[in-house]
Amino acid sequence: MTAEIICVGTELLLGDIVNTNAQFLSRELAELGVSVLHQHVIGDNPARLRELVAQARARSELLVFSGGLGPTEDDLTKETVAAAFGDTLHFDAEEWAKITAFFARTGRQPTPNNRKQAMVPTRGHKIPNAHGTAPGAWFEDDAGRCAVLMPGVPREMKAMWTEQIRPALQRRQNCTIHSHTLRVLGGESSIASKVAPLFASANPTAAIYCKTGESEIRVTARAATAQQAEADCKAYLQKFRDILGDAAYDVDVPALEYTVVRVLRERGLHAATAESCTGGMVAERLTNVPGASEVFDYGFVTYSEAAKQKLLGVDAALIARWNVVSGPVAAAMAFGAAQASGAELAVGITGIAGPGGALPGKPVGTVYLAGADARTGAGWLQRLALGGYHDREVIRTRAAMYALDLLRRMALGLPVPDATAITRQTPPEPMDL
């Protein structure tokens, strides 16, 4: 099946908002095995819309619209598409009752224009909107070509798509689809080179999306039954996990901190943070997870030498000898945070986020990350070189990712790549990697 996406809205043409609807719909259609030939953005102009619908109908079997269902007189999308598909609109008392009830709840009166929103297709059918006032519309011509009209508000559009239109398209294509998203630490190029052949499959499909310090791999399987799609999807996901090992940290979670909080909770562990260059980012991410209070009590943002001494007990002589950006100081911060908080696990981070502050042998992006396990007195030390990104925000974000992953690995007893094992008593010399 071929499709075109048509987004109607002056605010898109003026650049007031970014068109996330087009991305969402493109990705969803690709997963359904539908080829998207064009995306269009157009204003509330009936003549241009009529021209575009005629061209798109001549090329593609499915036209997917978002926007243009508003109550103002300018919004003529539904009328224009109805005419192009040889359909008419009629007043729907049930939709009108919903609209008036909505206005009553918010203490307002509907205007005559709002009645436009209660007009629904005669040959086609309406699509109820569970999250807003404007129903969607489905038009179909004798040749089986369809147009689907949805609201432009992303929340309403996504709900209508997911709950109603996507299942209908699956039934038409006589298949079900199932997706999972694997989250993997590391950059897209390093991951893609290991699993490149797996992206060539037509079903299940796999796509990689690059994020700062990690990537998402989305696997989608199509099959005749839901059970088969789910089984195919899981089996294909396992192929990625077999190759990527413990860098693939979780499935269908919003972010690494969700995995860290879950793992800590499952193991009955607590974590503390001692942050210099990340300035509280690790604590902020951990506490963004609902229920983080079960596993996190103390976060120390020690941005000066005095703060490191006072809150974490870092020895002034250690700082004087090794510099505040050094392995020994990171280790002392981590063990000091564990001590001061009573947490079983702690991380200490000190580094140079830039743009200034580079030291001899320690360019911008040099970050020392230490993990302490108060139960054993053992830990890990890493020297990270994140300066290639030339961006304070990216350096901090990547350092925080490494710190969260270190907590995960310590909690699970996994090895830590490119790290040196340390103990609370390790003499400082070998620690300044």
Min separation Cβ 20 and its own copies, Å: 6
- What letter would DSSP give residue 109? -
Query: What one-character-per-residue DSSP string does 21-76 give?
Result: HHHHHHHHHHHTTPEEEEEEEE-S-HHHHHHHHHHHHHH-SEEEEES--SSSTT--
Among 168, 224, 235, 306, binds its own copies (CB under 8 A): 306
281 makes contact with its own copies (CB under 8 A): yes
Integer Cα distance of 349 and 432 in angstroms: 14
Stretch that binds its own copies, among 18-26, 87-95, 157-165, 234-242 (CB under 8 A): 18-26
Among 1, 38, 46, 203, binds its own copies (CB under 8 A): 38
Burial 159-190, CB ≥16 within 10 A → b, else e: bbbeebbbeebbeeeebbbbbbbbbbbbebee
Among 118, 286, 314, 403, binds its own copies (CB under 8 A): 286
User: Is the bond preceding 204 in cis, omega lying within 30 degrees of 0?
Assistant: yes
Integer Cα distance of 272 and 241 in angstroms: 30
**Burial class (CB within 10 angstroms; exposed 0-12, middle 13-18, buried 19+) of 84:** buried
Min separation Cβ 259 and its own copies, Å: 17
Min separation Cβ 122 and its own copies, Å: 30
Among 187, 279, 377, 428, binds its own copies (CB under 8 A): 279
Token look-up 């700082």 returns: 319
* Residue 298 vs 322, nearer CB to its own copies: 298
First and final CA of the chain: distance in angstroms?
Answer: 57
Stretch that binds its own copies, among 29-37, 94-102, 142-150, 423-431 (CB under 8 A): 29-37
Min separation Cβ 341 and its own copies, Å: 7
* Residue 271 vs 422, nearer CB to its own copies: 271
- According to CB under 8 A, which residues from 412 to 431 bind its own copies? none
296 makes contact with its own copies (CB under 8 A): yes
User: To 10 degrees, what angle do helices 305-312 and 327-341 make?
Assistant: 40
CB 121, CB 139: distance < 8 Å: yes
37 makes contact with its own copies (CB under 8 A): yes
Among 129, 215, 273, 350, binds its own copies (CB under 8 A): 273
Stretch that binds its own copies, among 123-131, 160-168, 261-269, 292-300 (CB under 8 A): 292-300
Integer Cα distance of 66 and 118 in angstroms: 17
Q: Which two tokens stand for residue 44?
A: 């509330």
> Which residues of this protein are in contact with its own copies, per CB under 8 A?
12-20, 22-30, 36-43, 45, 48, 52, 55, 59, 207, 209, 273, 275, 277-284, 286-288, 290-293, 296-304, 306-307, 311, 341, 354-356, 392-393, 396
